[in-house]
Homo-oligomer: A and B are copies of this chain.
Amino acid sequence: MSADIIPLRPRETAPSLGPMMTLTASGMNAVNAVILDRMQSEIPLIPALAGHLIAGGGKRMRPMLTLAGAALCDYHGTRHHKLAAAVEFIHTATLLHDDVVDGSEMRRGKAAANLVFGNPATVLVGDFLFTRSFELMVEDGSLKVLKILSGASSVISEGEVDQLIAARQIETSEERYLTIIGAKTAALFAAATRIAAVVAERGEAEERALEDYGRNLGIAFQLVDDAMDYDSASDEMGKGRGDDFREGKMTLPVILAYARGNEDERAFWRAAIAGHRTTDADLSHAITLIHRHDAVGATRDRARHFAQRAIDAIAGFPASEAHAAMAEAAEFAVTRRA
Contacts and interface: CB of A to CB of B under 8 A. Distances in A.
Interface of A: 41-43, 45-46, 93, 97, 100-102, 119-121, 123-125, 127-128, 130-132, 134-135, 137-138, 141, 143, 146-147, 150-151, 153-154, 156-158, 160-162, 164-165
A131 B157 contact: yes
A120 B101 contact: yes
B150 A123 contact: no
Contact of A158 (B128, B134, B146, B156): B128
A329 B45 CA distance: 36
Given A97-B124, A100-B120, A101-B124, A134 B146 contact: yes
**Per DSSP, are chain A's interface residues mostly helix, strand or loop, or mixed?**
helix
A150 B134 contact: yes
Given A45-B165, A100-B119, A101-B123, A157 B128 contact: yes
Contacts of A97: 123-124, 127
Contacts of A127: 93, 97, 130, 153, 157, 160
A46 B46 CA distance: 28
A158 B46 contact: yes
B121 A164 contact: yes
Contacts of A124: 97, 101, 157, 160-161, 164
